[in-house]
């Protein structure tokens, strides 16, 4: 009795746009390409997701800050690799009122340059390090590709960017590992399965020494990048002259890292767990965790509502976000339909039989499974069911990703898997850039990079393209 996933699996794009609109998560009808609105329900999901990442960052020594949105052109240009990438996709402010500005101001595409400009003033001494900050801001990219709600935007409204500075490369490396651990916990909290890959050289962040990315796999068989961690080495600190005084009295450039996530995380959450009925939300991000629907009959109305209120109070008293849907101009069936669309994890139905048996009927949104719970045990049982549901969601999604990951050493087979959008190919590679680009051309997909979460011994394996000795395996997929 699992809810259908026909539209979800066959027409995912259409399903996604339809569901975020009807469930009022994101309104994409604003008359500027690639920007959208968070209406109240979506905003609550967004804020719950933000709370989770903030907590993880606060617990690990990061401090929240807020930097300006405007970056003067000369500052954006200081790191040459960085601007080379962003030059084509930066929005420029050129006028203030009717006056032409003396220098153009970029809408931040990311904040490394603005932050470095201030770190020059903030960081002086080795005792100032490590330095860890983050902010949650809007960023802008003039995307020329087809834009897509929450996934490819011109205004990314929810960019969490962390920036750190360190005394040594080792410490920066350690921070990269910490960042990876933070993101793993974060995605686990949201039940989003992930692949961790070191991006190939040609696909790293502009100005980075290397980039490690988290990708997930969407129902349409395309990988979605949902988080990146960059080791920037001294590239930015040299360009911006950010140095610190070492104990021995000499100065050295700091080593920096940065790592970010965006509302793509919410797109992944919705895409991966949804079904043809609508959203399916894990309880920790659900604006409403439990909805109570009375099923009154004429003679029993009073008892039914009395039990509904009792259950409402009991669940509120343990801190759950509960809603009693007591509308009298809507049938219970319409209510079921509405709250399923909204992804509320648990529905509690209360009718005369429940009153008589001192029970309630609980329905899990993910499986539509019905569970009878004694009224007396509701405070213990409901949190357990919510936690079970979340664990099951995480497990199922993880399994789905594994089932859509294929190891092959055969190019034709790789081409076929990608062409059929069956998911991710793992295959050996010699490490040569030309060969890598050839593979991307041939399979008509992107190399996500070398898996960091997979143990593969490539001894004896040959590159899928040139047949020379493989140096590593790589993940390949269609991407967003």
Give the residues lining the site for its own copies (CB under 8 A). 27, 29-32, 35-40, 43-44, 46-47, 63-70, 72, 75, 87-99, 104-105, 107, 114, 117-118, 121-122, 133, 138, 140, 142, 144, 154-155, 157
- The two structure tokens encoding residue 383: 């949190």
Residue 56 phi, psi dihedral angles, 5° rounding: -65, -40
Contacts of 384-391 spanning 24+ positions with Cβ under 8 A: 385/346, 386/283, 386/289, 386/290, 386/345, 386/346, 387/283, 389/282, 389/283, 389/345, 389/346, 389/364, 389/365, 390/191, 390/282, 390/283, 390/284, 390/345
The burial class, CB within 10 Å (0-12 / 13-18 / 19+), for 242 is buried
In the complex, the smallest distance separating the C-beta of residue 7 from its own copies, rounded to whole angstroms, is 24
Cβ pair 349, 365 in contact under 8 A: no
Give whichever of 44 and 152 is closer to its own copies, judged by the CB atom: 44
Give whichever of 46 and 364 is closer to its own copies, judged by the CB atom: 46
Cβ pair 109, 142 in contact under 8 A: no
User: What is the C-alpha separation between 47 and 28, in angstroms, rounded?
Assistant: 19
Give whichever of 158 and 300 is closer to its own copies, judged by the CB atom: 158
Q: What is the DSSP letter of 108?
A: P
Give whichever of 94 and 331 is closer to its own copies, judged by the CB atom: 94
Give whichever of 25 and 346 is closer to its own copies, judged by the CB atom: 25
User: What is the C-alpha separation between 346 and 342, in angstroms, rounded?
Assistant: 11
In the complex, the smallest distance separating the C-beta of residue 11 from its own copies, rounded to whole angstroms, is 24
Cβ pair 378, 371 in contact under 8 A: no
In the complex, the smallest distance separating the C-beta of residue 92 from its own copies, rounded to whole angstroms, is 4
In the complex, the smallest distance separating the C-beta of residue 117 from its own copies, rounded to whole angstroms, is 7
DSSP-derived 3-state class of residue 199: coil
Give whichever of 44 and 398 is closer to its own copies, judged by the CB atom: 44
In the complex, the smallest distance separating the C-beta of residue 27 from its own copies, rounded to whole angstroms, is 7
In the complex, the smallest distance separating the C-beta of residue 458 from its own copies, rounded to whole angstroms, is 40
Give whichever of 63 and 412 is closer to its own copies, judged by the CB atom: 63
Give whichever of 15 and 38 is closer to its own copies, judged by the CB atom: 38
Which helix (H) or strand (E) segment holds residue 429: the answer is strand 424-429
In the complex, the smallest distance separating the C-beta of residue 121 from its own copies, rounded to whole angstroms, is 6
**Ramachandran sector of residue 124 (left: φ over 0; alpha: ψ -120 to 50; beta: rest):** alpha
In the complex, the smallest distance separating the C-beta of residue 154 from its own copies, rounded to whole angstroms, is 8
The burial class, CB within 10 Å (0-12 / 13-18 / 19+), for 367 is middle
In the complex, the smallest distance separating the C-beta of residue 397 from its own copies, rounded to whole angstroms, is 27
Give whichever of 111 and 257 is closer to its own copies, judged by the CB atom: 111
Give whichever of 66 and 146 is closer to its own copies, judged by the CB atom: 66
Give whichever of 149 and 436 is closer to its own copies, judged by the CB atom: 149
Angle at 463 between CA 420 and CA 473, to 5 degrees: 70
In the complex, the smallest distance separating the C-beta of residue 429 from its own copies, rounded to whole angstroms, is 32
In the complex, the smallest distance separating the C-beta of residue 97 from its own copies, rounded to whole angstroms, is 4
Which residues make Cβ contacts (< 8 Å) with residue 148, sequence separation at least 6? 480
Compute, in degrees rounded to 10, the torsion defined by CA atoms 157, 134, 145, 274.
-60
Residues 269-297 as b or e (16 or more Cβ within 10 Å = b): bbbbbbbebbbbbbbbbbbbbbbbbbbbe
User: What is the C-alpha separation between 358 and 307, in angstroms, rounded?
Assistant: 9
Query: CA torsion sign, 450 to 451 to 457 to 462?
Result: negative
């Amino acid at each position: 009795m699992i809810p259908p996933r026909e539209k979800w699996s066959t027409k995912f794009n259409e399903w996604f746009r339809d569901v975020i609109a009807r469930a009022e998560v994101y309104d994409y009808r604003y008359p500027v390409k690639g920007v959208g609105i968070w209406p109240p329900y979506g905003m609550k999901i967004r804020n719950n997701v933000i709370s989770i990442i903030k907590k993880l960052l606060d617990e690990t020594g990061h401090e929240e800050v807020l930097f300006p949105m405007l970056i003067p052109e000369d500052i954006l240009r200081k790191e040459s690799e960085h601007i080379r990438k962003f030059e084509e996709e930066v929005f420029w402010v050129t006028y203030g009122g009717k006056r032409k500005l003396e220098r153009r101001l970029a809408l931040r595409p990311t904040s490394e340059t603005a932050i470095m400009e201030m770190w020059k003033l903030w960081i002086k001494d080795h005792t100032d390090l490590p330095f860890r900050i983050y902010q949650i801001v809007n960023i802008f990219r003039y995307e020329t590709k087809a834009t897509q709600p929450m996934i490819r935007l011109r205004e990314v409204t929810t960019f969490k960017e962390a920036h750190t500075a360190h005394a040594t490369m080792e410490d920066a490396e350690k921070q990269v590992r910490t960042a990876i651990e933070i993101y793993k916990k974060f995605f686990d909290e949201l039940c989003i399965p992930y692949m961790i890959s070191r991006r190939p050289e040609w696909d790293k962040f502009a100005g980075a020494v290397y980039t490690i990315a988290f990708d997930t796999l969407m129902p349409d068989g395309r990988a979605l990048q949902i988080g990146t961690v960059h080791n920037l080495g001294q590239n930015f600190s040299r360009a911006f002259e950010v140095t610190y005084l070492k104990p021995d009295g000499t100065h050295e450039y700091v080593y920096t890292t940065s790592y970010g996530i965006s509302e793509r995380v919410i797109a992944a959450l919705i895409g991966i767990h949804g079904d043809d009925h609508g959203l399916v939300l894990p309880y920790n991000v659900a604006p409403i965790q439990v909805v109570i629907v009375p099923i009154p009959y004429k003679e029993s109305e009073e008892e039914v509502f009395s039990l509904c209120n009792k259950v409402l109070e009991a669940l509120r008293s343990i801190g759950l976000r509960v809603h009693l849907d007591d509308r009298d101009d809507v049938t219970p069936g319409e209510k079921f339909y509405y709250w399923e669309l909204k992804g509320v994890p648990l529905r509690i139905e209360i009718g005369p039989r429940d009153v008589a048996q001192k029970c309630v009927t609980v329905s899990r949104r993910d499986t539509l499974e019905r569970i009878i719970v004694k009224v007396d045990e509701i405070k213990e049982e409901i949190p357990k069911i919510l936690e079970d549901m979340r664990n099951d969601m995480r497990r199922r999604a993880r399994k789905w990703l594994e089932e859509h990951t294929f190891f092959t050493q055969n190019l034709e087979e790789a081409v076929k898997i990608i062409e059929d959008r069956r998911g991710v190919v793992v295959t050996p590679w010699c490490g040569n850039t030309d060969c890598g680009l050839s593979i991307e051309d041939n399979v008509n997909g992107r190399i996500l990079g070398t898996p960091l979460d997979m143990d593969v011994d490539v001894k004896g394996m040959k590159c899928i393209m040139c047949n020379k000795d493989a140096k590593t395996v790589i993940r390949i997929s269609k991407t967003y």
